[in-house]
Amino acid sequence: MFSLFFDGIQQDFQIAILPPVLCALFRLIFIEVYRPKKTPSGEWRKWYHCFRYGFWWGMDLNAYAFLLLVILVSLPGAFLPFYFSIGDTIRQIAITLYGLAIYTAFLGKMLFYYHYHDIFNSTLWLGKKAEKHNLLDIFFHQDHGLLLLLSYIPYTFLCWWAGKAFLSIPQLPYYHVSSSVLQMVLNTGVVLIVAAIYYFFRYGGTFMHDDKPEWDTIPSVVKKDIFMARATVDDLVQLKTVLKHPLQEGLTHTDEEDAAAIDTIMPKAMKGEKWKALKNPAEAFVHTAKGALIKKPKHIFLIVGESYSQMPLDDIYSDYHIMDGAKAFRKDPHTAVLNNFLPAGMISRPAIVSLMTGIFDAKLELNEREDFWHGTLATTLPNQLRKLGYRSIYWYGGNPTYGNFDKYGPAVGFDKVMGATDFCPPNSPKTWVGIYDHIFLQNAAKLIQEMDDDTPTFHYVYTTSNHGPYKLPLESLGFDAASVLKDLPEAVRNNRKKQKVLGTYWYSDKAISNFITEMQKAYPDSLFIVTGDHSYLPIHPGDTLERQEITLREQYCTSFAMHHPDITQDIFAGNTIGSHMNIMPTIFEMIAPKGFQYYSLMPSLTEPIDHVVTPYHWLTLDQVGSADKPMYQSIDIPTKDLSVEEESSGKVRYADEIAGIDAITSWIVRHPDILSKNV
């Protein structure tokens, strides 16, 4: 009986070699596809530790393949000879299925990195509420989804064949001894060795659970190269980490836990939990306007362009003429700009919601919560502008029922929510997310002028076309690749895939710029704020620069510009950094009379700012970093590769402040009685 078990566990061990081999192979493919430097030449130590540490870290899950085979195949096979006889077939089926799971996670990571330049992170959770038709369209038309699905066929056969090959490795014979006592001791020793092997591999080459591999203990030679550090993590391991921390995690906190975090960021007068006497902790952040800096505009336009990034505006990418409209707008002497500007979200809806609400969405999807369809906060931008006599209109390039903005918009104070699918001509061309930008903006401009009745109006305008899968008929929309891309290398000019992305950027910028020009002619005294919802990377640095890697600044920063006849760059008090959440207080400091009180978590851009935080990242005058990992990088705009540094403390910079802004939102969501129907 035990001889069958002994033979079985050897088969288990042999076939369990396949999963870490697959993980190592996929790690290599990831590096070869996305890392500019493809070979370990001059970096042998870094590559060795990347694969070594990745192997041990991956055993956090891969060791279970061995354990489950022992429990479900070898153990019962020791008692059931028939089951033992089909054991290898069961092992092959099990390992092939696990190999398919590894492959699925790998393909998911490859697509995720292509779109977000990161391995799986919390953004993954937000796909639950995304427009599913658009995701499918992107998958099949931009990501070659059909080929990826077909690839499962040869991959399955490969796993089956590889499993069979590992099972054919010669085994050690079972040794019988004459003494039954000694035989029992040997058998017990085998069982203990099997258990020890499992725990040793499961804990990453150690018997101590606390010494298991994790991000913080990645070897320094690897961790200094952020790409190789990301490559170290097996895909299923990273997916497990993300799934263990759902977006709603903040809602599991107790009031005591969040109160401590909130107290750390409170104004001095409200510390010691004095803020608890208020209805809403965000109402502790009261500011008093110093007096209007510009003539009160009849119209305020907050224009949020889909993926309207800072990257194409940087001088080192001047050969890319895909945002020339924005460049011309920014050169106006009455336009003030910031080139280092963080969005309030890593994807669209959290950024859009945060700008509306005056508190960070903080991964809690406020627009999807029914409490926020029926109640509101005093901190919202429309509610506070109403005190200055402004009505507010949300102009969306798509269908406002997507994301429930038809309900959320009125609740946060918008007098009207205008969806392009409702006011643009029937059969207007559209993508899955919205009507083509130029049609949306032309019709919005027409309606704005028709609705004009001398009531001061705030227009929140959000476009949609600059979005995957990049299938717009660019030539018919005026894009001439030979002209627009004339200063770029031939490898870029003639690359159809790059043309589609760059051309869509050009088209969206043209539509936004034309809209601004038309509104400036109609309402020359208007205040324009132009930004993007989040960053996107339409440019590969290595196409025109010595540098191959993107920088954290490029990965994180969106664009920002503000225009009015009465302002110049000096209005920003020498600031070079900012964020979405600085926009609202800046509006009030520019237009509100002296003594007007308003709520804002962040200061106005008219005051000196030395750092900015969001739930996702932070920014100082010379560095930018992640809110998830203790790493940072200079905000220089280099032509050569720039290293990512690790915090000497091993902790995320501004972690307490980031926890505080997250906790405010969690507190409000857990206490829906804070919300009121009338403000």
Mean pLDDT of successive 10-residue stretches along the chain, which has 679 residues:
86 95 97 93 95 95 94 91 92 97 97 89 74 84 92 97 94 80 84 92 87 84 88 95 78 86 95 91 97 98 98 98 98 98 96 97 90 92 98 96 91 97 95 95 98 96 95 96 95 94 98 98 98 96 93 97 98 98 99 98 98 98 95 94 90 97 94 78
Same domain for 392 and 311, yes or no, is: yes
> Is residue 142 located within the same domain as residue 277?
no
User: Nearest 5°: CA angle at 503, between 108 and 340?
Assistant: 75
Q: Write down which residue in 245, 267, 289 finishes a domain.
A: 245
In a domain, 302, yes or no: yes
Residues 30 and 175 in one domain: yes
Question: Of 245, 272, 307, which residue is a domain's last?
Answer: 245
Identify whether 668 is part of a domain. yes
Domain count, the chain: 2
Q: How many H-runs (helices) and E-runs (strands) does the chain carry?
A: 27, 16
For residue 679, being part of any structural domain is answered with no
- Residue 370 and residue 416 in one domain: yes
Instruction: Kindly state whether residues 491 and 640 are assigned to the same domain.
Output: yes
pLDDT of residue 117: 85
Task: Kindly state whether residue 42 falls inside one of the protein's structural domains.
Answer: yes
Domain-located, residue 252:
no
**Residue 269 within any structural domain of the chain:** yes
Return the pLDDT at 38: 92
214 & 276 share domain: no
Provide the edge-to-edge strand list for the sheet that holds 391-396: 335-337, 560-563, 527-532, 299-305, 457-462, 391-396, 416-419
Specify the residue for token string 């589609």. 500
**Domain, as residue range, for 607:** 257-674
436-470: per-residue pLDDT in tens? 999 999 999 999 999 999 999 999 999 999 998 99
Angle between helices 87-116 and 152-167 (to 10 degrees): 140
Q: What pLDDT sits at residue 651? A: 94
DSSP result, 535-584: ------GGGTSS--SPPHHHHH-B-EEEE-TT--GGGGTT--EEEGGGHH
Give the model's pLDDT for residue 187: 82
8, 38: one domain:
yes
Strand partners, 305: 532
Reduce the DSSP state of residue 313 to 3 states and report it.
helix
Do 239 and 268 lie in one domain? The reply is: no
250 domain-assigned: no
- In this structure, the answer to whether residues 429 and 319 fall within a common structural domain is yes
CA 111/CA 5 separation, integer angstroms: 42
Examine the domain organization and report whether 238 and 264 are in the same domain. no
Q: Which of 198, 221, 245 represents a domain boundary (last residue)?
A: 245
Residues 206 and 339 in one domain: no
Instruction: Say if residue 202 is in the same domain as residue 280.
Output: no
Strands 623-626 and 617-620: antiparallel
Q: What is the structure's pLDDT at 76?
A: 93
CA pseudo-torsion sign 287, 586, 628, 241: positive
* Spatial distance between the Cα atoms of 277 and 259, rounded to a whole number of angstroms: 12
* pLDDT value, residue 247: 66
Instruction: Examine residue 132 and state whether it is found in any structural domain, yes or no.
Output: yes
Specify the CATH number for the domain of residue 523: 3.40.720.10
Q: Which two tokens stand for residue 446?
A: 């027409």
